[in-house]
Amino acid sequence: MGYKLGEVILSRDTIARRVKELASDIANDAGKDKSLVIVGILTGAAFFLTDLVRELPEELDVRVDFMSVASYGDDTKSSGVVRIFHDLKSSIEGKNVIVVEDIVDSGLTLSHLLELLKSRDPTSLKVCVLLDKYERRKTEVKVDYCGFRIPDKFVVGYGLDCAGMWRHLKDIKYVIEE
Ligand code: PRP
């Protein structure tokens, strides 16, 4: 089976506007804490995260860390298994943590990750996702900040891939299977 790019579902301008709104919500909620650790889940979320954190106000104490996990491999269906390839560089104990994901689908990756991160005793643990494919949820996950709810269709771009391809697209597009 082959793949080709379909129509734009979310344009770069629409994404940029929503990223600003999310950053504003995050900054408002941070309130007097003024200290956040933003944890990006590689690889897809790196694109969203770098735009998001640059919209946060300068006076906020913002740290960025990454984890590398995998639940899909090169397939388009979740295996439900989360493997950790690269862990955080710094401790999150006593920190206000926001996990940033590009997409939540079955919810399995995030629910496993949140359990793991909770066991490290952060002061708070929140979730920010760009895309929510809510129809595919297999387990409940609390999403504190959500960019867009999208239908159960294969999409790529702005960090999202198809077997490693098309992460670099500025717009998010449908993929047509042929
Ligand atoms: C994607 C996404 C989430 C996960 C969501 O990662 O970034 O981590 O799938 O799916 P789920 O809710 O069904 O668990 P992927 O494994 O494709 O890795 P990538 O970011 O490197 O593309």
Whether residue 25 lies in the annotated active site: no
> What would you measure as the largest C-alpha separation in the chain, in angstroms?
53
- Name the band, by pLDDT with cuts 50, 70 and 90, for residue 21: very high
Q: Rounded distance, CA 124 to CA 138, Å?
A: 24
Q: Which residues line ligand 1 (CB under 6 A)?
A: 41-45, 70-72, 78, 101-110, 161
| Mean pLDDT (the chain, rounded) | 92
What are the residue boundaries of the structural domains of the chain, listed by start? Answer: 12-151
Question: Rounded distance, CA 175 to CA 178, Å?
Answer: 10
pLDDT tens, residue by residue, 67-96: 998 765 445 455 545 688 999 999 999 999
Which CATH entry fits the domain spanning 12-151: 2.60.120.460, 3.30.110.70, 3.40.225.10, 3.40.50.2020?
A: 3.40.50.2020
Q: How far is the CA of 109 from the centre of ligand 1 (A)?
A: 7
Nearest to 44 by CA among 130, 125, 113, 106: 130
Tell if the pTM clears 0.95, that is, is over it: no
pLDDT in the model for residue 74: 45
Of 102, 105, 132, 161, catalytic: 105
What are the Cα distances from residue 23, in Å, to 18, 29, 46? 9, 10, 15
DSSP string, 63-106: EEEEEEEES-TTSSS--S--EEEE--SS--TT-EEEEEEEEESS
By C-alpha distance, which of 37, 39, 40 is closest to 61? 37
> What three-state secondary structure class fits 170?
coil
Q: Which of 83, 105, 111, 146 to mutate to test the pocket of ligand 1 (most atoms within 8 A of CB)?
A: 105
What token pair was written down for 14? Answer: 């629409």
pLDDT at 73: 45
What gap in Å lies between CA 68 and CA 59, rounded to an integer? 29
Q: Express each pLDDT in 127-150 by its tens digit.
A: 999 999 999 999 999 999 999 999
Pairing of strands 172-177, 155-156: antiparallel
Mean pLDDT of 164-178: 96
